[in-house]
Structures are given as C-alpha cells and as structure tokens.
Chain A
Amino acid sequence: MGVHEIEDAALLFVFGYHGAESHPIVARRIVRAKQKGAKIICVDPRRIETARIADMHLQLKGGSNLLLVNALANVILEEGLCDYDFIEKHANGFDEFKEVIKKYTPESVTAQTRVEAADIRKAARMYALSGRSMILYGMGVCQFGQAVDVVKGLANLAIMTGNFGRPSVGIGPVRGQNNVQGACDMGALPNVYPGYQSVTVPEVRAKFEKAWGVKLSDQPGFTLTMVPHQVLHETDPKKQVHAYYIMGEDPAQSDPDLAEVREALEKCDFVVLQDIYMNKTGQYADVILPATGWCEHDAVYSCCDRGFQKARKLVEPSGDVKTDWEIISLVSTAMGYPMSYKNTVEIWNEVIELCPGFAGATDEKIEKNVCVQWPCRSKEDHDKGTSFLHKDGKFAHPDGRAKFFATDWRPPLELENELYPLTLSTVREVGHYSVRTMTGNCRTLRNLEDEPGWIQMNPADCEVLGLAEGELVKVLSKRGYCITRCLPTGRVAKGAVYMTYQWWIGACNELTIGNFDPISKTPEYKYCACKVEKIEDQAWAEKHVREEYELIRGRMGIDMKEGRAA
C-alpha cells in the first residue's frame, strides 16, 4: 500500500500507531479519509488523537495485542465473514489456523485486554465487511517481546477477508525514523544483502561474491540489540564483539537498559562513532569521524511505503567533514579492500544492478518522477514502480500464495508487581526526532519542549501519590532511575505510564528492559514494570536538573561561558 491510498480506504484499522505524534503528515491522510466517509477503528492503550476521530476506540491494556487480534479473527471465522474465494485461490494453512483461533473467543480475552466482547464483535464485523479495509500499524505493535506474531496476526485478518492486492487495502507498517526502510532496503541487516536477498542462499551469495570480488560469510550476523550481550557476557571467544563501528546512531541514548549499554561501550576494545553531532555514545568512542548531514550531501531515501526519493546537497558543510560513504571507502581502502566511488549515482547504479526488485529504479527515473516505489524491475519508462505489494493476490512465498500463521499469545516479560506497580511504555514527542541531536539544535523546535520531559500518568494514580502537574518526580525500575515532570492526563489508563525517550535527564531507557522479540530482535520498549516516587524537596530537584543539564551540555562540547545557558 502507499501513503496516498490511505484516504481512499473505506475503513482504517489503526493499530498501535500514533500518527499525530510520529508522522503528522500521514495523520493528515487519516483525517482526510474520515472526511471522505471512511470508518476508523483505533486500537491503542492511550486516548490518542486518532481515537478522538475514530468510530471505535478499543482501549486495550498494553501487552495484550495478540489476544485481541486472535479474538477478531475468531469472530470473523465464527460469523462466516471470510472471503472464502480469496482464501481458496491465494492462501495456505487455513485449517491449522482455524484450529488455533477457535479458543480465542471474545469473552475469553475480555479480562486481559479490558475490551468488551461486544466491542470486539462489532469491530471485527466492521473490518470484515467494509469492502476496502486497510490496516496501519506502528511501534505499538513492534516494540514488544511478541511483535512479529502480531504482525502476522494482522496479516491473517487481511488475508481471511480478502483485503490484499488492490488499492486502499492491505497492511502497512508506518516506521519511525526517516530512512529505516532505506537501511533495510540496502542490506544494513545481519541476514540479508541489499534487496532482501538472503546471506544463507548459496546462489545469492555467489552472485554477491562475484560482484564484490571476495569470499563472503554464510553465517547471519548479530543484531544491534545483541551487542551488549556479545561484549559483556559471551563466553565463546569466537563470538565476542571487540570492535563497534557506529554510523549515525546513538545506542547510549536510544537502546534499552542504558546502564548495560554504557558498560558494553566501556568494555568494548574499540568504538568508532561516525556522526554529525557529539552524542552520548561519543563519550565512549575511541575515535570520532565527523560526517556531513542532511542538506549537506546527496542521497536517496526510502520513505515508509518503499518510495525512493532524493535528498539534495543544498549547502557546503563548514567543518573538516566528509560524507559517510567517502569515510567508509577510505577506511576500506586502507584495510586492503579498495573502494573508489566518485559520487552517489555511481553507488546507486551498483545497487540496482544487484537487486532485481530495484533494477528499474534508475537515477534518471527517480529524478524525473520524484518518487519510485519498489518493486520496479524494468528500466523502461513504463515501469513507474508499484504502489501496492501483493498485486492481484500474489505473495512473496515461493508458490505465490499467502500463508496463515497462528500463534498463541505470550505475556510481556516483566509484569507489574508489588514493588513496581506501574507499567511503563516509551513513546514519541511530536516536535522532536529520535534522540534529538538534530531537532534539539533547531531553535523553533527546541522551544516546544525541553529537559527533563514528562511522564504521562492517570490523574487517579497522581492523586494517590499527591502529585501535581509539573512537579518533578523520580521514576524507578529494577534497572535504574531518572527524574522527569509529572503530567496528569485522562488519556492514559490507570496503572500505565508513558515517557518519551529523547531526554538526557529524563532518560526513560535507564528503566526499559532488554527483552527482545525472538525474530525481529526489537526490544520491549512498550512494557516494563516501574514505580513513581514523590520528591519532597522540589527546590533541590529543580536545581539538580539544571546542574545536570549544564554538565551534560558541557560534555557535549557547548561552551557555557558564551552565555547560552539553558
């Protein structure tokens, strides 16, 4: 599906995706769909913007996603709302699927999801019968220890109702950072080469060995989230990580369980940070390589619906910096594997030669059409790319058929308990981007919000602790603590609290847990147990926050004497 198709859906099923905060412009399409008469079902534990304009808001309890998804499938089956013709023509595994789904009656999941059985039934009927239902999902699905199963569960709903392979249907992830799609497309993943070609398939490997002129490893590599473990706890010397070359990321701020990440960065023999700004990871790096940033170099980005688009060099950088690809080429050459690219077009041509799915997305075509959505296989002008995957019900499996996957629900790893009675979920902030080194340095954006951020809490929970809006509080989990401001809001349910992850002082990743989905290795940012403590001496706390902030900014290289105090 493509972003522009959103507004023509008859029903939008928005699951764990907070458009208004993550992607304001995608959110606008959702509003436009509504204006054109689409029904909207919003599934989210918070009363987010989408919930306000939705026809139904299923305010489920965090961590119960798969229970709800399976119960929706159960209703569609029981009430005979399937598109049996589509299933027969295009899908496998329906009988096994039915077997698993049978037990997930709406009544059986009400207690854990906190969604009424009648509402589950109503939502399932609306989804199955709209004629053009589109599912959008976001980090509220992905950032759990059980994430891939839920994505497959959502795909089940689309397959069983025939909502695939036509305009304005299907299932679409809406990703956070601008070029997550691009990093994946280009093979910055431990198991696939560019174009999603597996490193374990001998013919594929042979193709890349020939193109690159070297023997390649047939073993999938580590994911980023495994690095702390591979540095600190791996006993097999062959599997320990001793060098970490980080390009444009800040794991010491963005990864879960920061205490462990810091320890790993300290213990790792050699850490290189290649970036545009000093950041927390840089405090541990042995070498810093300064790179050009957005607007200082040419690049192709992939937007969230697989569209290749160009970002241009608009200004000359002022420092003694180089583009990322130049720096890597120099290091590679110095290590005896020469790379001598002259510009990004030369690199892009190599990419599309090696990737059948991108082969037709030539530089000229992107230039001419502004955006080319892959798959785009032919260099001919007529192939302008593909708006929706699974065209005419064709799927990526070898036989071209979809497969039903049914799995049972697993609870999150760390449940609330007597010592830590609240559940913490991390979310985004509307004006800021990721770890904030860029947006925090834009004057207009920075004025929107500043350290130490906020913790969103239900007013009833605040009352128990005697907390007022704006008061500084201490938030603790088994792994660490941080200080932030209390924000009472009826948008969040009792017992659940929410923090955004870009703050240094209010660093919620001091608290989060390193529990990962077994397949995607995504951390469970959306669920861990925590508690909130009142700070009696507010004057001390305010002073402490100010001092900490100055200290960190000093470490980041800001000259305090110039009167730029926060």
Chain B
Amino acid sequence: MTIKQIQSTCAYCGAGCQIMFTVDIEKNKILEAVPARGRTNDGALCLKGHYGWDYLNDPQILTKRLVKPMIRKGGKGSPLEEVEWPEAIAHVAGRLSEIKAKYGPDAIMGTGSARGSGNEANYVMQKFIRSAVGTNNVDHCARI
C-alpha cells in the first residue's frame, strides 16, 4: 500500500490550520488535502489550505522552481550559470569571508524567513550570522 494519510500544518498564514494530506508515496505525489482537527482551525480550511500545494507540481505559471545552484560567473549583470553544489558553497563562503576580512563582520546582513522554511532554518541562519560571521545583522520580513 503506497497511499498514506499524513497530517501537516498549512504554510500560508499565521492561523496555522491543520491539514490531512493523502499522499501516494510511490508516485511521490499529493492526492488530496482536507481539513484536520487542529486547535486553531477546528476542522476547516480556506482556499489556500485546500489548493496551496499545487505549486509542488511546478505548473510554471508565473515563475520557475529553482532546481540547480547558479552563479553569475561574469560578475554583476552577467547571466546566471548552473554549477554543482560544492562550487556554489565554496563561492559563497569565499566571498563572505573576503568581505568580512575587508570590511568587518557588520558589513554582512542575513535574513531569516517568515515563510515555509520553518523554525529550525531560522535558528540555524541566526546562529550562522552571529557565530560564523560575527554580527547581529539578522532580521526577516515581519513587517509586511
């Protein structure tokens, strides 16, 4: 049996509604989303909760999913070129270290995310900025 029911939390607003997903594990596809009994939603969902997962199918209506690290190798304004992860990571670490050495840690700013990334990612980001970079320049778009 590859069909599973998994409860999760909606990512589209702070109400934090609980959703019961039906997932076809073998086909790696979500089949359906129905309301679950959460403390805040009490068995209901709005449109976004019901249909918001369709983005996973990457219908390419507006923008494209990013599927590969990319670097503008020719500098600002040049085209983005696909690279492998080790090259992308080394490039980011190298440039940030250079800037830190030249201008000090406070010349670097990082953001957490108020969207789907989750608490653990935010924790790791602020720890990175504070410990590895050495500044408190970290914030997120709480204000929109």
A231 — nearest CB in chain B belongs to which residue?
A: B109
Cβ–Cβ < 8 Å partners of A194 in chain B: 123, 126
Interface of chain A residues 290 through 346 with chain B (CB within 8 A): 290-291, 293-305, 307-312, 314-316, 318-325, 327-332, 334-337, 339, 341, 344
Partner pick for B113 among A28, A179, A277, CB 8 A cutoff: A179
Partner pick for A188 among B47, B59, B112, B133, CB 8 A cutoff: B112
Partner pick for A178 among B93, B116, B144, CB 8 A cutoff: B116
A294 and B18: CB pair below 8 A? no
A521 and B115: CB pair below 8 A? no
Bound-complex Cα distance A480 to B71 (A): 31
Partner pick for A347 among B16, B38, B123, B135, CB 8 A cutoff: B123
Check if B13 is an interface residue, CB within 8 A of chain A.
yes
Interface of chain A residues 445 through 472 with chain B (CB within 8 A): 445-446, 448
B38 and A177: CB pair below 8 A? no
Cβ–Cβ < 8 Å partners of B13 in chain A: 22-23, 176-178, 433
| Closest CB in chain B relative to A201 CB, distance in Å | 13
- Among the 9-residue stretches A103-111, A212-220, A396-404, A482-490, the one with 4 or more Cβ atoms under 8 Å from chain B is A212-220
Check if A269 is an interface residue, CB within 8 A of chain B.
yes
B103 — nearest CB in chain A belongs to which residue?
A: A242
Total number of residue pairs linking A and B with CB closer than 8 Å:
483
B8 — nearest CB in chain A belongs to which residue?
A: A312
A443 and B54: CB pair below 8 A? yes
Bound-complex Cα distance A278 to B66 (A): 6
A321 — nearest CB in chain B belongs to which residue?
A: B67
B66 and A319: CB pair below 8 A? yes
Cβ–Cβ < 8 Å partners of B138 in chain A: 187-190, 221
Contact with A along B57-85 (1 / 0, CB 8 A): 01111111111111110011000100001
Cβ–Cβ < 8 Å partners of A279 in chain B: 63
Bound-complex Cα distance A437 to B65 (A): 10
Interface of chain B residues 101 through 144 with chain A (CB within 8 A): 102-144
B115 and A287: CB pair below 8 A? no
Partner pick for B70 among A288, A307, A334, CB 8 A cutoff: A288
Check if A371 is an interface residue, CB within 8 A of chain B.
yes
A277 and B65: CB pair below 8 A? yes
Check if B1 is an interface residue, CB within 8 A of chain A.
no
Bound-complex Cα distance A6 to B32 (A): 30
| Closest CB in chain A relative to B108 CB, distance in Å | 4
B23 and A556: CB pair below 8 A? no
B104 — nearest CB in chain A belongs to which residue?
A: A238
Bound-complex Cα distance A255 to B114 (A): 14
B137 — nearest CB in chain A belongs to which residue?
A: A221
| Closest CB in chain B relative to A501 CB, distance in Å | 7
Interface size (A, Cβ < 8 Å)?
Answer: 159
Interface size (B, Cβ < 8 Å)?
Answer: 109
- Among the 9-residue stretches A124-132, A149-157, A243-251, the one with 4 or more Cβ atoms under 8 Å from chain B is A243-251
B28 and A307: CB pair below 8 A? no
A242 and B15: CB pair below 8 A? no
Cβ–Cβ < 8 Å partners of A335 in chain B: 93, 96-97, 132-133
Bound-complex Cα distance A322 to B88 (A): 12
A200 — nearest CB in chain B belongs to which residue?
A: B136
A521 and B106: CB pair below 8 A? no
Cβ–Cβ < 8 Å partners of A300 in chain B: 118-120
B141 — nearest CB in chain A belongs to which residue?
A: A249
Check if A272 is an interface residue, CB within 8 A of chain B.
yes
B10 — nearest CB in chain A belongs to which residue?
A: A178
B99 and A445: CB pair below 8 A? no
Given contacts A243-B108, A295-B30, A370-B18, contact A179 B6 (CB under 8 A): no
A6 — nearest CB in chain B belongs to which residue?
A: B40
Cβ–Cβ < 8 Å partners of B40 in chain A: 2-4, 25-26, 303, 305, 307, 371
Cβ–Cβ < 8 Å partners of B143 in chain A: 142-143, 224-225, 520-523
A444 — nearest CB in chain B belongs to which residue?
A: B51
Given contacts A289-B88, A320-B69, contact A441 B110 (CB under 8 A): no
| Closest CB in chain A relative to B95 CB, distance in Å | 5
Check if A53 is an interface residue, CB within 8 A of chain B.
no
| Closest CB in chain B relative to A122 CB, distance in Å | 31
Check if A24 is an interface residue, CB within 8 A of chain B.
yes
Check if A510 is an interface residue, CB within 8 A of chain B.
no
A183 and B112: CB pair below 8 A? yes
Cβ–Cβ < 8 Å partners of A523 in chain B: 143-144
Cβ–Cβ < 8 Å partners of A142 in chain B: 143
Check if A112 is an interface residue, CB within 8 A of chain B.
no
| Closest CB in chain B relative to A249 CB, distance in Å | 5
| Closest CB in chain B relative to A388 CB, distance in Å | 14
B42 and A324: CB pair below 8 A? no
B16 and A245: CB pair below 8 A? no
Bound-complex Cα distance A4 to B136 (A): 36
Cβ–Cβ < 8 Å partners of B67 in chain A: 290, 318-321
| Closest CB in chain A relative to B93 CB, distance in Å | 3
Bound-complex Cα distance A3 to B12 (A): 16
B124 — nearest CB in chain A belongs to which residue?
A: A325
Partner pick for B39 among A190, A277, A370, CB 8 A cutoff: A370
Contacts A324-B124, A446-B61 known; list 9 others, CB within 8 Å: A142-B143, A189-B126, A242-B102, A245-B129, A249-B140, A303-B14, A348-B119, A441-B58, A556-B63
Residue pairs across A and B with Cβ atoms less than 8 A apart, 30 shown, are A177-B144, A183-B122, A199-B136, A222-B137, A245-B96, A246-B111, A251-B141, A275-B66, A277-B65, A278-B63, A286-B72, A289-B88, A290-B65, A295-B21, A296-B56, A297-B118, A298-B118, A301-B118, A307-B16, A325-B121, A335-B132, A335-B133, A336-B132, A348-B119, A348-B120, A370-B38, A441-B55, A444-B50, A446-B61, A558-B63
Q: Which 7 residue pairs are nearest across A and B when measured between Cβ atoms? A: A299-B118, A188-B112, A303-B16, A319-B67, A248-B113, A304-B14, A221-B136
Show the binding face of B for A, using Cβ within 8 Å.
6-18, 21, 23, 28-30, 38-42, 44-56, 58-72, 75-76, 80, 85, 88-97, 99, 102-144
